[in-house]
Amino acid sequence: MSVRTTPAADHVEDVSPGRGTLPPRSWYASSDAASLSLNGRWRFWLSATADAEDDSFAEPGYDAKGWAEVTVPGHWVLQGHGAPVYTNHLYPFPVDPPHVPTENPTGDHLHVFDLPADWPADGEAVLRFDGVESCARVWLNGTELGEFKGSRLPHEFTVGGLLKTVGNVLAVRVHQWSAGSYLEDQDQWWLPGIFRDVTVLHRPRGAAGDFFVHASYDHVTDAGTLCVDSEVAGRVTVPELGVDIATGEPVTVPVEPWTAETPRLYDGVLATPGERVPLRIGFRTVALEDGLIKVNGTPVLFKGVNRHEWHPERGRALDLATMREDVLLMKRHNVNAVRTSHYPPHPAFLDLCDEYGLWVIDECDLETHGFVEQSWRDNPVDDDRWTPALLDRAARMVERDKNHPSVVIWSLGNEAGTGRGLTAMAEWIRGRDGSRLLHYEGDIDCRDTDVYSRMYAFHDEVERIGRGLDGGTLKRRELPFVLCEYAHAMGNGPGGLADYQRLFESYDRLQGGFVWEWIDHGIAHPELGFAYGGDFGEELHDGNFVCDGLVFPDRRPSPGLVEFKKVIEPVRIEGDGAGGTVRVTNRHDFADLSALAFAWSYQVDGETVDAGPLPVPVLAPGESAEVKLPEPGPAPAGAETGWTVRALLAEATAWGPEGHVVAWGQVPVTGRVASSVAASERPAVSGGLVRLGPASFDARTGALRTVGGVDVTGLRLDVWRAPTDNDNGAPWQPDARYGLLWRELGLHRMRHRLDAVDLTDEALTVRTRVAPAAVDLGLRTVYRWTSDGCRLKLTVSVTPEGDWAVPLPRLGIRFGLAGADEVSWFGGGPGEAYPDTRMASTIGRWRSTVDDLQTPYVRPQENGARADVRWAELGGLRVEGDPAFWFSARRWTSEQLDAAGHLTDLVPGDTVWVNLDHGQMGIGSQSCGPGALPQYHLRAEPATFSFVFEANG
Ligand code: IPT
């Protein structure tokens, strides 16, 4: 005899999309029909299993006084009930589709509400859920409405007949795990809950049902054609265009087109007998033509990011202000495109993309990545039983978002292998909306798609694809190429952005890419700063792989975003100083330069001594001009001089203030002449010290003690840096895991053997060999100290010995200073830079505190180097380099930085540790992509570099 014990939870493991919901339709936030937000505090009861409780909580009159409360929208695991779980692609439960564990956290939600006094008595009403993870069963006033899955998609129920004026009881039972979880294996936190809005919408008689705004643009005639298909007939008016047409009736009028650069929207109204719905119409035509993605007849270059929805306290429950902040940050950093990885975002985000101008790849809520562990066996996307669920997801996305001009491409999902279900989705989408292109990266032969899309392809392969030498199916060879993910922005990095951009700009077929990803998904945590995978005791997790964004969890831009902004700037300003001109190139796809004003400034030794406006012709996209600069003023002999030219917003726009810097370039005029220090001083020994000019040394070891009265500790060669996530690399690229190889080699525990301390008439020379235990590799290192009486010069010569098969992390000196706080320098700034992340580094005079030099990567790692530093002052010392050097200073050692797991592990000490580096290893993006390109490797090679120290003040 078998006993069914879980009848209440049968639907949880049902692969079908659900029951009781209305067919999907276009989403709109406002109309003149009444609506009531049910967002707010709800009663909440958490059970450990799906069937722990019966349905009686849904009955009116149920006594929920003993229940907790949660905020809706929200995730209960971020509100003190249970805990979040982070896995990349592994399912955190046994893979046995469609079954889920018995331990299935289940949140019963109760909300009692009254209708507003003016709620119309007639007509219908619907109850809309914009997002619930992962499976919900819904009752209103004791009547079950149905159940649904599809976490980041809207679901509506008819509720008119059930609504009461006062005391409505809405009951929602939400299960963390369901059959739907198998389709939602995105690389992110698993966060159950009602995490998007819940709304009751009045539907007057004759209300608009579903409608489809078709608004195309003919770039030959400059005419827009508008036709609004509507389930319920009515009229469409667009006053600005003098349009007043019936639904279903096309009209062609002269218009300005919508593009991401020029997001021209026309306000209109769809009036049905029962309702007036505001429309925001953007005219544009997307086409695949000549093997290229064209909008309004012009090929576009995507300078995109992958955006997950994230807030460090609220998870994926984003408010409008946060969404707007994302859009503004993107626009201000020259980003022009978003892939909504890996699910349709909150619908209001797409309104913002329409309004501010961003190209959108709208991606379906579908990922089955965990099946890769079993070679995709039993993958739901290749199993007909799941196809209705896939089609339901496709339809809910397309129907909801079809009226957004910003959405130019539909994406079937992410990392779901291949299968008949995906083909069925593609066919359905094409049948419903022929006006957009289709994307799915997993379709390597492009059977179902319009774009050859890849993730993390290395530069050399991308170049081959650009040249059309990549082979593949006939169909694929004729398609444009995008990198739907590249430049993995985990921790310090991504390196190599400029090298990708150069390729995108060189080959028409390469239509750009989308950096992985926009934001670190760190969770605000009282003890850890920001938490990542494993911090909640998850038994399976993927650590800080969830923190790989261009902005920190609190949306502060990381150096990666600043670099990206520079690399993708829509105006190129360049020149070598010859002829007194700069070359200005308009790299927009659509806009001319009329929105920008240009300004020049002239620097002498990094200080701006003169500035003024620079007249630049209003160049059309693609055009460039050689623009004459003013005559430079006089500068002292030996000074380093140069121009900085900036392109600024001429007037405030919707996304940036007047004067906002869009692009810039620096043009050197005269180069630097490093100070020469005559070795005129003779080292003298007295009382166990060697005195040389302003300095004293330990006579036995040759160790520097003081310079001009400033104590200096531990000055010696340094090759170690706290490995970055990119240094550590990914398991599937074992050769490029330099962080691990360095540690294996022992570069974090170098021994410094003292071979000789030589005194001559003009120098103190200290000979050493720096090497790790257990191997015969080493670096012969000679420190040669000289002085002209007031300045002290150190020349370091390094000669590698043995077979150095790996590059070095860094090569330079480090030392400790007591009590340094303010730093000023002449060189690259204001932010950090490394060999392959240095485009945004601007040569100038900069100031900072030591604390502000640090970049707060969620998992601490090497950070904060400033490039091309000519000189730096801190702690009473001035150091000048020949050649220019990489500068960093921190209140902890690299070893402490290396040992830290979270920012809160870093405890400032009294000593400031300064690194002056002759070389730094490139960064790359091999935490999920290519390593630093060979030209950015720091090879162990003979090297000589010098520094001049003097006391300042
Ligand atoms: C790729 C995923 O699409 C994305 O969600 C994220 O996990 C990213 O990697 C890494 O952060 S998939 C991977 C196999 C390249």
Rounded to the nearest whole angstrom, what is the distance from the C-alpha of residue 417 to the centroid of ligand 1? Answer: 13
Rounded to the nearest whole angstrom, what is the distance from the C-alpha of residue 88 to the centroid of ligand 1? Answer: 8
Chain-centroid distance of CA 68 in Å reads 36
pLDDT band at 953 (very low <50, low <70, confident <90, very high): low
| CB-ligand 1 contact for 448 (6 Å cutoff) | no
Q: Which atom of ligand 1 is least distant from the CA of 456?
A: 15
Question: What is the pLDDT at residue 483?
Answer: 98
- Residues 174 and 57: their CA atoms lie apart, in Å, by 13
> For residues 744 and 878, is the Cβ–Cβ distance under 8 A?
no
Whose Cα sits closest to atom 6 in ligand 1?
A: 187
Look at residues 75, 67, 26 and name the one whose alpha carbon lies nearest to residue 47. 67
Q: Which atom of ligand 1 is least distant from the CA of 186?
A: 5
Whether 7 has a pLDDT exceeding 50, the answer reads: no
Mean pLDDT over 525-549 rounds to 97
Report the interhelical angle of 420-432 vs 387-401 (nearest 10°): 30
Residue 434 CA neighbour count, 13 Å, CB half: 1
DSSP annotation of 579 reads G
> For residues 354 and 263, is the Cβ–Cβ distance under 8 A?
yes
Q: Please state the φ and ψ torsions of residue 124, each to the nearest 5 degrees.
A: -105, 180
Mean pLDDT over 881-910 rounds to 97
Rounded to the nearest whole angstrom, what is the distance from the C-alpha of residue 485 to the centroid of ligand 1? Answer: 8
- Residues 582 and 643: their CA atoms lie apart, in Å, by 9
pLDDT (tens digit per residue) in 797-849: 999 999 999 999 999 999 999 988 999 999 999 999 999 999 999 999 999 99
Question: What is the pLDDT at residue 633?
Answer: 83
Q: Which two tokens stand for residue 327?
A: 């859009």
Whose Cα sits closest to atom 5 in ligand 1?
A: 187
Q: Which atom of ligand 1 is least distant from the CA of 455?
A: 15
- Residues 812 and 883: their CA atoms lie apart, in Å, by 12
Rounded to the nearest whole angstrom, what is the distance from the C-alpha of residue 191 to the centroid of ligand 1? Answer: 19
Question: What is the pLDDT at residue 37?
Answer: 98
| CB-ligand 1 contact for 411 (6 Å cutoff) | no
How far are the Cα atoms of 496, 515, 898, 938 from residue 560, in angstroms, in the given order?
A: 11, 10, 21, 21
- Relative to beta strand 596-604, strand 641-649 is antiparallel
| CB-ligand 1 contact for 928 (6 Å cutoff) | yes
Whose Cα sits closest to atom 13 in ligand 1?
A: 928
Whose Cα sits closest to atom 7 in ligand 1?
A: 187
- Residues 486 and 78: their CA atoms lie apart, in Å, by 30
Mean pLDDT over 570-591 rounds to 93
Mean pLDDT over 324-347 rounds to 98
Q: How far apart are the first and last CA of the chain?
A: 91
Look at residues 150, 146, 156 and name the one whose alpha carbon lies nearest to residue 388. 150
Whose Cα sits closest to atom 9 in ligand 1?
A: 928
Q: Give yes or no: 399 in active site.
A: no
Q: Which two tokens stand for residue 574?
A: 């360049």
Q: Which two tokens stand for residue 565?
A: 């902004």
Q: What is the 3-state secondary structure (H, E, C) of 641-706?
A: EEEEEEEEECCCCCCCCCCCEEEEEEEEEECCCCCCCCCCCCCEEECCEEEECCEEEECCCCCEEE
Mean pLDDT over 80-90 rounds to 97
Q: Which two tokens stand for residue 107?
A: 């949140």
Whether 8 has a pLDDT exceeding 80, the answer reads: no
Among residues 133, 184, 399, 415, the one annotated as catalytic is: 415
Q: Give yes or no: 744 in active site.
A: no
Rounded to the nearest whole angstrom, what is the distance from the C-alpha of residue 561 to the centroid of ligand 1? Answer: 19
Mean pLDDT over 500-521 rounds to 98
Among residues 309, 363, 367, 485, the one annotated as catalytic is: 485
Mean pLDDT over 290-317 rounds to 98
| CB-ligand 1 contact for 88 (6 Å cutoff) | yes
- Residues 438 and 461: their CA atoms lie apart, in Å, by 23
Give the burial class of 216: count Cβ atoms within 10 A of its Cβ; 0-12 exposed, 13-18 middle, 19 or more buried.
buried
Query: What domains appear along the chain, each with residue ranges and CATH number?
Result: 10-203 (2.60.120.260), 569-670 (2.60.40.10), 684-951 (2.70.98.10)
Chain-centroid distance of CA 188 in Å reads 14
Rounded to the nearest whole angstrom, what is the distance from the C-alpha of residue 414 to the centroid of ligand 1? Answer: 9
Rounded to the nearest whole angstrom, what is the distance from the C-alpha of residue 546 to the centroid of ligand 1? Answer: 10
What angle is formed at CA 487 by the lines to CA 346 and CA 494, rounded to 5 degrees? 110
Strand 298-299: give its sheet, edge to edge: 286-289, 292-295, 298-299
DSSP annotation of 325 reads H
pLDDT (tens digit per residue) in 181-195: 999 999 999 999 999
Rounded to the nearest whole angstrom, what is the distance from the C-alpha of residue 487 to the centroid of ligand 1? Answer: 11
Q: How many CB atoms lie within 10 A of CB 469?
A: 10
Pocket test for ligand 1, best of 186, 187, 927 (most atoms within 8 A of CB): 187
Rounded to the nearest whole angstrom, what is the distance from the C-alpha of residue 187 to the centroid of ligand 1? Answer: 7
Look at residues 488, 493, 487, 486 and name the one whose alpha carbon lies nearest to residue 558. 493
pLDDT (tens digit per residue) in 397-448: 999 999 999 999 999 999 999 999 999 999 999 999 999 999 999 999 999 9
| CB-ligand 1 contact for 544 (6 Å cutoff) | no
pLDDT (tens digit per residue) in 19-60: 999 999 999 978 899 999 999 999 999 999 999 999 999 999
How far are the Cα atoms of 307, 586, 638 from residue 326, in angstroms, in the given order?
A: 9, 26, 46
What's the pTM value of the predicted model, to 2 decimals?
0.97
> For residues 287 and 268, is the Cβ–Cβ distance under 8 A?
no
| CB-ligand 1 contact for 730 (6 Å cutoff) | no
pLDDT band at 9 (very low <50, low <70, confident <90, very high): low
Chain-centroid distance of CA 398 in Å reads 25
| CB-ligand 1 contact for 187 (6 Å cutoff) | yes
Whether 860 has a pLDDT exceeding 70, the answer reads: yes
Pocket test for ligand 1, best of 86, 342, 516, 925 (most atoms within 8 A of CB): 516
Task: Considering only CA atoms, give the Rg of the chain.
Answer: 31
Q: Which two tokens stand for residue 856?
A: 């707060």
Token match 């993708």: residue? 568
Whose Cα sits closest to atom 12 in ligand 1?
A: 415
Whether 682 has a pLDDT exceeding 60, the answer reads: yes
| CB-ligand 1 contact for 926 (6 Å cutoff) | no
Mean pLDDT over 527-543 rounds to 97
